[in-house]
A and B are shown apart, each in its own frame.
Chain A
Amino acid sequence: MSQIDTVELAAKSPDDEQPWAELGLKADEYARIKDILGRRPTTAELAMYSVMWSEHCSYKSSKVHLRQFGDLPPSDALLVGIGENAGVVDVGDGYAVTFKVESHNHPSYVEPYQGAATGVGGIVRDILTMGARPVAVMDSLRFGRADAPDTARVLPGVVAGVGGYGNCLGLPNIGGELLFDDCYAGNPLVNALCVGVMKHEDVRLAKAEGVGNKVILFGARTGGDGIGGVSVLASETFDTQDDGTGGPAKRPSVQVGDPFTEKLLIEACLEIFAQDLVTGIQDLGGAGLSCATSELASAGTGGMHVDLDTVPLRDSTLTPAEILMSESQERMCAIVEPAKVEQFLAVCRKWDVLATVIGEVTDGDRLTVDWHGERIVDVPPRTVAHEGPVYERPMARPADLDALQADDAAKLPRPTTGAELQAHWLAVVSSPDGADKTWVTEQYDRYVRGNTVLAQPEDAGVVRIDEESHRGIALALDGNARYARLDPYAGAQLNLAEAYRNVAVSGAKPLAVTNCLNFGSPEEPEVMWQFAEAVRGLADGCRALGLPVTGGNVSLYNQTGDVPINPTPVIGVLGVHEDVRLRVPGGWRSAGETVLLLGETRPEFGGSAWASVVHGHLGGRPPALDLAAERKLADLLAALGEQRLISSAHDLSDGGLAQALTESALRYGVGASLHLAGDAFTALFSESTGRVVVTTNDPGGVKTTAQWAGVPVTELGTTGGEALSVADVLDLPLAELRAAWTATLPALFGGPEHSTPLTVPAGTVPTS
C-alpha cells in the first residue's frame, strides 16, 4: 500500500482531493467535518464520518420527527427508552423484555438470501447487546406483484434466508406478515423483529467507562464484506438494476452471514453477562467498528484508543479505512475491566469465539486509532456518533392525494347475488395477500426452546418466559400500506390498532410499541410529508392507548427511480400474559359453539382487500378508527380470556369477516352455519376496525361481559359442518375453500411435494 494517510499528513495537505461524494456525503457535510477537525479528515476519518453520518446511522432526516415519541407521557413499564440498541420493558416478576424491528430492505433486494439472513442476525445482536437472551423472531415481508418474475427471484431467497439464519440460531419464528404490491417490485421490504428476555438487574448499556478498561473485539474476523453497506445501500435509491448494466454491482456491499458463529456468540455473551464481566457492550452492525467504537466512547465519560493492527482479519490486504467500515457479521465489542480480561477470554475460548483486546478507555475526550504505529484517527467521538447532521427537510402533501381520497371505493360495483359474493370471497382469500402462508412458515422453526405457546397463523405470537409462574409475552407486527398511502396519519394509527388488537386477541395486556418505518426518499417533500404524518399519527395513537414507544428503526430511500413505495409503517406491539395457559388461540376446534362478532361493522371499503383484489382499486379513505373503542375491546378480550369464556378469537382486518371466517374454519376443518343481518356484502368485506370474531359455549356470559365493557355483540351462528354456510346467501364447502386458499403460494413459488425416491448404489452409504 502507498503512504498511510495520517493525522499529521492530513494537517499538512489540507487541499488533497477526497472522495466524500462517492462515500455519500454532501458538500456541506464534508465542510462541517473539516470544521470540526480543524483540518481535512484522514482517509480513515472520512470513512468513519461517511458511514456514521449516513441516513441509516444518523437518522438525520427523521430525528426531528421522532422526538415526538420521546415526548409521550412517561410509562412505568419502560426501563430503558429510545436511544439504546433496543428499549427495555418491565413485564413483571422481575422480568424485563427488549424487542425491536429492523429493516434490511436494500441488501435483500441485491442478495436475497444473505440480505435477509444478516437482517435477522443484526437484530438478534441488538437484543443480545441489551443483556437479554433472544427468545423469538418475527418477520414482516413485502414484495412486488406475486407473479412478477423478479418476485420469484427475491422471495424464495428472502424466506430461505430468514429461516436459514433464525433456524440455525435456535430462535423460534412466531409470526409476521407477507404482503405483495407492485410498489415493492424494485424495493422489497424485509423487516425482522427479535425479542429477548432478562432479569431487571441484567440490563446492559452501550457505553465505555473507566479509564484503563480494555476494549475487546470478539466474534468473527473482519473481512471485506459489507463495506459501505449503510451508506451505499441503505441510504441511496437504486437508480439502476443490479445486473451490472448501468452502474457498479452492489453485491459486495451486502454482508455474508454465519449463524453458527452467532449462536456461539450468543452463548458466550450470556455466560459473560452471568459472570458480570463487562461494563459496556455494543454489537457491530451497520458501520461496523466505526459505529461501535464511536458510540461506546460517545456514550461514556472518557475517550478511547484503538490499535487497528490488532483486529483479526479474514483478508490481510484490507486498508485501515476498510477495516473501520467493514460490516462483517457476528462481531461484538465489549468494555472490560483489566482484572476481568482473562476470565472474559476464557469464556470466549470455551465457546470457540475469537476475542482480542484492541484498545482501551482513555481519559480525555478523543477517539484515537493507530495503524502501523501512526495515528490515523483523532476525533471527538460525539461528533461521529451522536452529533451528526440534522435536517428539517421540506415537506409537501402529495399532489395526488386529494384525487386519491376522492376516488371513493364505495362507488365500485358490488356483488349482489350469492354466486357473486362467493366468487369475490374466493378471490379475496386466494389472493397472494389473503392466501395460506404455510409455504413460507413451514420453512421456519416454531418449536425450538419449547416455549412457543402460539405462532403463525395466530394473530399474535405468544412465548412463555417462566415455566414456574407461566408468565409470558405476546407480540404482533402489522403494516398495512394501502391505508397509509391513502392517509399516512391514519394509516400508522390503523397499523398500531391492529397490532394492539392482535395482542389483545390472544388474551394479553398490550404494554409497549416498536416500529419500523419504511418510506421513500426523504429528499422528496411528498415522502417527507408522509413520513412526518405517520410519525405524528403513531405518537398520537400511542398517547391515546397509553403505550410507550420503546424504539424503532427508520428505513428511507425505499424507491425505484423517482417512484417511492407506499408509506409502510410496520408497527409492533408487545403484550404480557400473567398466565399463558389462559391464552386464547385462533381457529375453531369443535362443532356446536356459538360464533359471535364483537364490535361494529360500517360500510368501509377504502383501501380494502376487496377493492384491491376484485377491482385493482386503491382510493377513498381508510376505515375510521376509534382508539377508545379499541381499548374497550382489549379490556373485554382480557376479561373473556381470564374467565375462560371463549374458546377462540380472531381479529378482523384485511379481507374483513370473509377472511377471518375462512382462516377460523380451515384451521381445524370445522365449518359454521351463519346468518348475516343487513347487507351481506358489507358484513363480509368491510374492514371496519375494532372487531373480533369469537366462539363460545356460553354466549350469554360473553354478551353480559361485553355489555359491561361497552362493546356491541352480534350473534353470527354456530360452528359445525363441512361448509361455511351463510343463510340465504351462499354455501361454501370447506374443501373448495381450502383448495383455493392453499393453492396460491405453492403454485407461484414451488409445488408441495417432490419426494421422488432416491436411488443410491449399494455400498455408497455405510450401513452398520
Chain B
Amino acid sequence: MRIGVITFPGSLDDVDAARAVRLAGGEPVALWHGDHDLKDVDAVVLPGGFSYGDYLRAGSIAARSPLMQDVVAAAGNGLPVLGICNGFQVLCEAGLLPGALTRNSHLHFRNRDQVLVVERADTAWTSDYATGQRIVIPVKNGEGRYVGSDADLDRLEGDGRVVFRYADGNPNGSSRDIAGVASENGRVVGLMPHPEHAIEDLTGPSTDGLGFFTSVLKAVVNA
C-alpha cells in the first residue's frame, strides 16, 4: 500500500507522517507540492507544519499549490485523504472539508496530550477505532479553533460528519469541542491533533494514533 505524504514549503511533520505510515505497515511515498504527480498512491496525508509560514491565512497558499489540484480531483474519485493540523487547514481552504480554523481562543500556541472521543468509526481513517472510544494524542497549534455558523454546524452534526471531539478540556476554543470532521463520503478526514506523534511508546504519550494509518490500509484494500 502506497501512502503519499505531501511536503509543502514549511511542512514540518512530514517525516513523522511517513514514519507513522511505515510503522503501520504501509509504504510512505514523498510527494512534492509543486509537481502534478500523485505517483499512483493509494491514499494521501497532508502533514502538520506552517506551510508558507501561515502567511495570509493558515493553509490558504498551500491549498492553491499544483499538487492540491490533483488531490482535489482524486478525492472526488474516492481517494482517502487525511489532513493533520496544517493539513486540516489546507483541506478546509481547498474546500474539501467544511468550516475554518481560527486563532486559538486563548491566543497562545498550545501543545498538550489531548483526550479525544472518536465519534465516527466508519471513515477511511478511523475504522480501527470503536465509536465512543477515548484516545490520547498530542495537540499542538496556534490556529486550531474550529468554527462555523450554528446552522452549518447543526447540519454537519446532523449528517454525522464530526469524527472527533475534544474531551477533558477544549484546548483551543473550538465550537462544540469539534477536533476533526469528515467529507460526506467519509474518505477525507481532517483533524487538528497529531496521530502521527502517538505511534511509539518511546516518543509519544500513547500509541493511539497508529489506528489512523492501519485503518486506511484496510480502506484501501477494501476499496
**Which of the segments A259-267, A384-392, A394-402 contacts the partner chain?**
A259-267
Chain B residues with Cβ below 8 Å from A761 are 149
Chain A residue numbers with a CB within 8 Å of B50 are 167-168, 259-260, 263
Q: A756-B105, A757-B175, A767-B99 are in contact. Are A447 and B149 (CB under 8 A)?
A: no
**Residue from the list A170, A453, A759 in contact with B203, Cβ < 8 A:** A453
Q: Of B110, B151, B203, which is within 8 A of A450 by CB?
A: B203
Given the contacts A163-B109, A443-B111, A757-B175, A762 and B15 also touching, CB distance less than 8 Å? no
A557 within 8 A of B: no
List chain A residues, Cβ under 8 A from B105. 754-756, 758
Q: How far is the CA of A690 from the CA of B96 in the complex (A)?
A: 58
* With contact pairs A170-B12, A760-B149, A767-B155 given, residues A450 and B197 touching in the complex (Cβ less than 8 Å): yes
Q: Could you say which residues of chain B place their CB within 8 Å of the CB of A259? A: 50, 53
Are B173 and A760 closer than 8 Å at their CB atoms? no
- Shortest beta-carbon distance from A661 to chain B in Å: 23
Is A258 interfacial (CB-CB < 8 Å)? yes
Q: Is the beta-carbon distance between A448 and B96 smaller than 8 angstroms?
A: no
Q: How far is the CA of A683 from the CA of B161 in the complex (A)?
A: 57
Q: Are B152 and A450 in contact (CB under 8 A)?
A: no
Known pairs A447-B197, A753-B106, A766-B95; A442 contacts B173 (CB<8 A): no
A765 lies within 8 A of B194 (CB) = no
In-complex Cβ contact of A762 among B49, B53, B102, B150 (8 A) = B150
Main secondary structure of the interface of B (DSSP, over half): loop
Q: Which residues of the other chain, A, contact B172 by a CB distance below 8 angstroms? A: 755
Q: Which of A164, A448, A755, A763 contacts B12 (CB 8 A)?
A: A448
Kindly identify, within residues 55 to 97 of chain B, every residue whose CB is under 8 Å from any CB belonging to chain A.
55, 95-97
Give the complex CA separation of A442 and B148 in angstroms.
26
Choose from B95, B147, B150, B203 the contact partner of A464 (Cβ within 8 Å): B203
- Determine whether the beta carbon of A443 is less than 8 Å from that of B110: yes
Q: How far is the CA of A413 from the CA of B183 in the complex (A)?
A: 68
Q: Does A2 contact B (CB under 8 A)?
A: no
Whose C-beta in chain A lies nearest to the C-beta of B108?
Answer: A443
In the complex, how many residues of chain A place their beta carbon closer than 8 angstroms to a beta carbon of chain B? 51
CA distance A757 to B105 in the complex (A): 9
CA distance A759 to B175 in the complex (A): 9
Q: Does B128 contact A (CB under 8 A)?
A: no
Residue of A nearest to B15 (CB): A449
Asked if B13 lies at the interface with its beta carbon under 8 angstroms from chain A, I say yes
Closest to A258 in B: B53
Query: What is the chain A residue whose CB lies nearest that of B199?
Result: A450
Docked CA distance A580–B53 (Å): 33
Chain B window 102-146, contacts with chain A (Cβ cutoff 8 Å), 1 for yes, 0 for no: 100110111110000000000000000000000000101010010
Q: Which A-chain residue is minimally distant from B13 (CB atoms)?
A: A448
Main secondary structure of the interface of A (DSSP, over half): loop
Residue of A nearest to B198 (CB): A447
Question: Quick one: closest A residue to B93, CB to CB?
Answer: A766
Interface string of A711-754 (1 = CB under 8 A from B): 00000000000000000000000000000000000000011111
- Of A450, A754, A756, A762, the residue contacting B19 (CB under 8 A) is A450
The docked-state distance in angstroms from the alpha carbon of A765 to that of B102 is 11
Is B160 among interface residues, defined by CB-CB distance under 8 A? no
Q: Which of A447, A755, A763 touches B173 (beta carbons < 8 Å)?
A: A755
Bound: A761/B100 CA distance, A: 13
CB closest residue in chain A, given B17: A450
Decide if B151 touches A264 in the complex (CB within 8 Å). no
Q: How far is the CA of A765 from the CA of B175 in the complex (A)?
A: 13
Q: Please indicate the chain A residues that have their CB under 8 angstroms from the CB of B15 in the complex.
A: 449-450
Does A93 have its Cβ within 8 Å of any Cβ on chain B? no
B-side contacts of A260, CB under 8 Å: 9-10, 50, 52-55
Task: Please name the residue on chain B nearest to A452 by beta carbon.
Answer: B203
Contact call B108/A765, Cβ cutoff below 8 A: no
Chain A residues 665-690 with CB under 8 Å of chain B are none
Asked if A164 meets B202 with Cβ closer than 8 Å, knowing A170-B12, A449-B15, A758-B173, the reply is no
Contact of A447 among B99, B109, B194, B202 (CB under 8 A): B194
The interface residues of chain A lying within 8 Å CB-to-CB of B26 are none
Binary contact readout A219-233 vs B (1 if CB under 8 angstroms, 0 otherwise): 000000000000000
- In the complex, how many angstroms separate the beta carbon of A579 from the nearest chain B beta carbon? 11
List which A66-115 residues lie within 8 A (CB) of chain B. none
Shortest Cβ distance from residue B116 to the other chain A in the assembled complex, whole angstroms: 16
- B98 close to chain A: CB less than 8 A: yes
B111→A446 contact, CB < 8 A: yes
Contact string, B173-194, partner A, CB cutoff 8 A, digits 1/0? 1110000000100000000001
Report if A160 contacts B (CB, 8 A): yes
Residues from chain A with a CB closer than 8 A to the CB of B204 are: 447
A422 to B118, CA, bound (A): 43
Assembled-state Cα–Cα distance A755/B110 (Å):
13
Verify A765–B111 contact, CB threshold 8 A: no
A137 CB to nearest B CB, Å: 13
> How many angstroms between the C-alpha atoms of A254 and B157 in the bound complex?
49
Asked if B206 CB lies within 8 Å of chain A CBs, one says: no
What residues of chain A lie closer than 8 Å to B145, measured between beta carbons?
Answer: 758
* 20 A-B interface contacts by CB (under 8 A): A167-B142, A168-B10, A168-B54, A258-B53, A259-B50, A259-B53, A260-B52, A351-B9, A442-B109, A442-B110, A447-B111, A450-B15, A450-B196, A464-B202, A755-B106, A757-B175, A758-B147, A760-B148, A765-B149, A768-B95
The 10 closest A-B pairs by CB, nearest first: A260-B53, A170-B12, A767-B98, A755-B173, A762-B149, A447-B197, A450-B16, A767-B152, A168-B50, A762-B151
Which residues of B are at the interface with A, using a C-beta cutoff of 8 A? 9-10, 12-13, 15-16, 19, 48-50, 52-55, 95-100, 102, 105-106, 108-112, 138, 140, 142, 145, 147-152, 155-156, 169-170, 172-175, 183, 194, 196-197, 199-200, 202-204
